[in-house]
């Protein structure tokens, strides 16, 4: 078997999750950790037994010669860091979303091609065991012909949820139905259609966004359509995060924790045969059941290993991550201009900044980065300071 050297850039939660997956995979070795915060890199280093710890990215790459660098940092840093890593000709595994806008994402894709490097965008749900169970059921004809998909977020503020968790849902939908041809969206803030003054810098450094409540209609090929719902709830509820797949003869339900099959296309309340039936979650042969890695992150790392072995792209490769961003920017554009948006876009600049410029308005100002503080500031802007 080929062996691959992996370096981790960013040692917080997502970097730790990726590091554990690569650490436990038999074909990968963690050779370096990098973070500006010494306590974070030291804690992860002690956990995994990795002594090579750095605060300088370029020095880490030059010293450890990795085959893959995991970029598990805030979204606003993805572009600069990806371009630096790719300049070394090293493959990257970058957290989602790929970048904050299409111009940045286009440049990263172009740099990877120039350097003959591969990009994987960390949408681990698409490669996880629950999604593999769903795909297996579809291939076996359990729901007949695919016709419609419905994906829901967790109840974050809509636009923040879109850039945060909606990226996963869109990638999951693409993994089943392929690329999206066009998108139309209803985007509301405070229960009314958005206006330019609602455009904000997102929490967590996720770029320029708009909309507290987003409902998007997606047009895939072969007559398949979908709906993505990112609505703010009074309280975030992870139970709402799911994807339902409708066929001509049955339905499937995907969650991060499992997958279920309903053997009728329309729910009927009575009858044993009309109950949701759990599907077997598929696990990699080498997955260590008693390890620290999640099965979805492990599957994702495993696909990168197999992709490099076979000279192919990762299931969640750069162009797939770019198309997720095209859909998200299309949603914002549709909400702003009140029209359906064909994909991929010819104009690659940020549609919301374009919308503001056309109205002689300045880009949005800074807001707190932590989500809770950001949400409180937005509520105050909307006159809900007592909520």
pLDDT(168) > 80: yes
The pLDDT of residue 270 is above 80:
no
CA–chain centroid gap for 148, Å, is: 21
3-state secondary structure of 175: helix
Q: Which of 66-75, 278-287, 312-321, 334-343 has the lowest mean pLDDT?
A: 278-287
Domain boundaries, given as residue ranges, for the chain:
4-125+294-316, 126-283+317-387
Give me 223's structure tokens: 């007559």
229 pairs with which residues across the strands?
A: 152, 215
Q: Which residue has the tokens 């840093």?
A: 77
Cα–Cα separations (whole angstroms), residue 253 to 28, 150, 160: 33, 10, 24
pLDDT of residue 289: 84
Distance CA 40, CA 35 (A): 7
CATH architecture of 4-125+294-316: 3-Layer(aba) Sandwich (3.40)
Look up the pTM and report it.
0.96
Helix (H, G, I), strand (E, B) or coil at 131: helix
pLDDT band at 274 (very low <50, low <70, confident <90, very high): confident
pLDDT at residue 269 in the model: 62
pLDDT at 1: 78
* pLDDT tens, residue by residue, 129-151: 999 999 999 999 999 999 999 99
Q: 126-283+317-387 maps to which CATH number?
A: 3.30.360.10
Summarised one tens digit per residue, pLDDT across range 54-75 is: 999 999 999 999 999 999 999 9
279-303: burial string, b at 16+ Cβ within 10 Å, e else: beebebeebeeeeebbbbbbbbbbb
Residue 84 confidence (pLDDT): 98
User: Which pLDDT belongs to residue 27?
Assistant: 97
Q: Indicate whether 322 pLDDT > 80.
A: yes
């Amino acid at each position: 078997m080929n062996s691959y050297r992996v370096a981790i850039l960013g040692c917080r939660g997502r970097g730790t999750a990726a590091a554990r997956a690569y650490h436990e995979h038999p074909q990968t070795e963690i050779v370096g950790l990098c973070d500006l915060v010494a306590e974070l890199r030291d804690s992860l280093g002690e956990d995994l037994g990795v002594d090579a710890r750095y605060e300088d990215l370029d020095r880490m790459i030059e010293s450890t010669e990795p085959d893959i660098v995991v970029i598990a940092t805030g979204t606003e840093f993805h572009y600069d860091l990806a371009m630096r890593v790719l300049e070394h000709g090293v493959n990257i595994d970058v957290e989602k979303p790929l970048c904050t806008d299409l111009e940045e994402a286009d440049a990263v894709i172009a740099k990877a091609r120039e350097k003959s490097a591969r990009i994987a965008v960390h949408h681990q749900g698409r490669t996880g065991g629950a999604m593999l169970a769903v795909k297996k059921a579809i291939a076996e004809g359990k729901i007949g012909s695919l016709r419609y998909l419905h994906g829901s977020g967790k109840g974050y503020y809509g636009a923040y949820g879109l850039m945060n968790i909606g990226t996963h849902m869109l990638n999951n939908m693409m993994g089943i139905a392929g690329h999206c041809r066009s998108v139309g969206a209803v985007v509301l803030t405070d229960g009314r259609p958005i206006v330019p003054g609602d455009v904000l810098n997102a929490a967590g450094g996720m770029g320029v966004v708009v909309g507290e409540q987003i409902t998007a209609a997606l047009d895939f090929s072969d007559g398949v359509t979908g709906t993505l719902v990112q609505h703010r709830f009074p309280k975030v509820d992870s139970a709402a995060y799911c994807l339902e797949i409708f066929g001509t003869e049955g339905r499937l339900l995907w969650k991060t924790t499992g997958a279920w099959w309903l053997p009728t296309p329309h729910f009927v309340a009575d009858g044993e045969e009309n109950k949701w039936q759990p599907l077997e979650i598929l696990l990699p042969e080498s997955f260590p059941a008693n390890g620290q890695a999640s099965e979805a992150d492990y599957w994702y790392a495993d696909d990168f290993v197999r992709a490099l072995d076979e000279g192919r792209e990762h299931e969640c490769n750069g162009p797939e991550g770019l198309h997720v961003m095209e859909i998200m920017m299309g949603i914002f554009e549709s909400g702003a201009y009140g029209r359906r948006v064909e994909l991929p876009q010819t104009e690659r600049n940020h549609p919301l900044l374009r919308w503001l410029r056309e109205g002689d308005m300045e880009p949005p100002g800074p807001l707190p980065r932590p989500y809770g503080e950001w949400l409180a500031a937005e509520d105050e802007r909307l006159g809900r300071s007592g909520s």
